[in-house]
A and B are shown apart, each in its own frame.
Chain A
């Protein structure tokens, strides 16, 4: 794991040097600030509106960070050939993949926590407080970022940067609707297609399990701890599966 941590630190260092994260940072903070300022124009009941939009922005932006940072990891190492001196060192290919995942997860989680800190400050400035469900929502989104990072790193062992970004963004959008969408169309399709859809429904991770945004907006009480633990186990199982697939593919790959 020490070698994986060295790779992760390199991913973090590279991301700090790139400009894209700063652009996303400035953009999201600006958007959140504008939404927060809306109350100055004497509009009432804007806390819900602020929470909804801010949470949406933070969720999407941090997922984009995870996808953009993660998708380039393996293809860029191969294209720039920095992988050659690296893989000549005592580094297992599995450690390389885990390190890339760890670095991508840390970067996206760090961005998320910074955004959340700003979000909470703005929330306090509006006289609202941090609820239990918000804390749970933050925790589940962290798990979601780790899961998406594992999907992106897995795909980066198979496809180019651009293809990976496209597939991952599509999956992120569809992943929130997959369960509902499949159950809605099951009655209307033939037996074979229904079987395929059911299989997909069981195989693909449901990102909607990590989404508490509606409950946060409507200030529901916290969900039971067993639900959070179950979702956490669900995420860890899928993360392990995706990292295993990515490693197996990368191990067979000729560099």
Chain B
């Protein structure tokens, strides 16, 4: 099967003055069409750096990040990608309707289609009654829902979600999970990073574990889960063990 997302031998480093920090040390991974790929790792492991390179926010020092067979951050690809940042970063002076209109126009969606799509995504994320409320007056959870709304405004084929459950209460998390599964059922490819391993365990088809800029494991979730005690089937156990083994 052809991968939708392919990362090949990706290296990245940060420079702060003379100091150089290696963020990625030649990672490689693939995400296939229609799957949910969970990208997990401790803080500072390189998850956000990888996502930043995928989206063209950062440039790698070596290696490639490819989506649909071409440079991941190409303009053509951005029409097919949706991105949800970890924390809601939206213009506080706008309303959900206005910001979705602005983003939708960047995708060159015509006015009638865009209005219908805005109604549809606001219904999906449960923000219909807040469409004209200033973003600064929305709760953190609502802003995260708005983040998902803007990520799917273009009906993307690939969704890149950075900690999608950040700031959500248990009900919000459940709803987010349902939306992600619904998107998967519609054939979308979803790449998401998360700290919440229980969530990853519930929805992912495959996971990649990253630590200190290196991929330690990339496997189907079912294969990982089969290897551990059925009564305490938690991805967390595998995750912690993998990290500790590597660091030992």
B56-68 CB mask vs A (1 if < 8 Å, else 0) is 1111000000000
Contacts of A89 in B (CB 8 A): 78, 103, 106-107
Contact present for B93 and A17 (CB under 8 Å): yes
Contact present for A81 and B52 (CB under 8 Å): no
Contacts of A82 in B (CB 8 A): 89-91
The answer, yes or no, to whether A3 is at the interface (CB within 8 Å) is yes
Stretch in A6-14, A112-120, A223-231 touching the partner = A6-14
The docked-state distance in angstroms from the alpha carbon of A45 to that of B78 is 64
Contacts of A80 in B (CB 8 A): 89
Contact present for A85 and B90 (CB under 8 Å): yes
Count class of interface residues, chain B: 20 to 34
Contacts of B160 in A (CB 8 A): 88
The answer, yes or no, to whether A37 is at the interface (CB within 8 Å) is no
The docked-state distance in angstroms from the alpha carbon of A76 to that of B16 is 21
Contacts of B107 in A (CB 8 A): 89-90
Contact present for B106 and A91 (CB under 8 Å): yes
The docked-state distance in angstroms from the alpha carbon of A54 to that of B91 is 36
Contact present for B59 and A13 (CB under 8 Å): no
The answer, yes or no, to whether B39 is at the interface (CB within 8 Å) is no
Q: How far is the CB of A16 from chain B (nearest CB, A)?
A: 9
The docked-state distance in angstroms from the alpha carbon of A224 to that of B56 is 50
Contact present for A85 and B103 (CB under 8 Å): yes
The docked-state distance in angstroms from the alpha carbon of A229 to that of B75 is 37
Contact present for A92 and B75 (CB under 8 Å): yes
Contact present for B89 and A84 (CB under 8 Å): yes
The answer, yes or no, to whether B147 is at the interface (CB within 8 Å) is yes
The answer, yes or no, to whether A26 is at the interface (CB within 8 Å) is no
Residues 208-249 of A at the B interface (beta carbon under 8 Å): none
Chain A residues close to B by CB (< 8 Å): 2-3, 6, 9-10, 13-14, 17, 80-92, 254-255
A-B contact pairs, 30 of them (CB 8 A): A2-B108, A3-B106, A6-B105, A6-B106, A10-B91, A10-B94, A10-B102, A13-B98, A81-B89, A82-B89, A82-B91, A83-B89, A84-B85, A85-B83, A85-B90, A85-B147, A85-B150, A86-B103, A88-B55, A88-B81, A88-B83, A88-B160, A89-B78, A89-B107, A90-B79, A90-B107, A92-B75, A254-B57, A254-B58, A255-B58
